[in-house]
Amino acid sequence: MSTYALRDSGTMLRRNLKHSLRYPSLVISNVAVPVVMLLLFVGVFGGALSPGLGGLDYINYVAPGITLMSVTTATIGTAVSVSIDKGEGIMNRFRTMAISRAAVMTGHVLGGVIQTLISVALVIGVAVLMGFRPSATAVDWLAITGFLALTAFALTWMAAAIGLVAKGPESASNMPLPMTFLPMLGSGFVPTDSMPDTLGWFAANQPFTPINETLRGLLMGTPVGTNAWLAVAWCTGITIVGYLWARRAFHRMSTR
Q: How confident is the model at residue 128 (pLDDT cuts 50, 70, 90)?
A: very high
| pLDDT at residue 256 greater than cutoff 60 | no
Q: What is the predicted pLDDT for the residue at 68?
A: 92
Which pLDDT value is given to residue 250?
82
pLDDT at 54: 65
What are the respective helix, strand and coil percentages of the chain, to the nearest 5? 80, 0, 20
Pairwise CA distance, residues 169 & 76, whole Å:
10
Number of H helices, E strands in the chain: 12, 0
Mean pLDDT of 163-182: 84
CA angle 191, 192, 196 (to 5 degrees): 125
Q: Which of 94, 99, 97, 105 is nearest to 5 (CA)?
A: 99
All structural domains of the chain with their residue ranges: 3-254
pLDDT of residue 185: 85
- Model confidence at 190, pLDDT cuts 50, 70, 90, reads confident
Give the model confidence (pLDDT) of 52-88 as tens digits.
666 678 888 889 999 999 999 888 888 888 888 787 7
Q: pTM of the full predicted structure?
A: 0.88
Q: Is the pLDDT of residue 34 over 90?
A: no
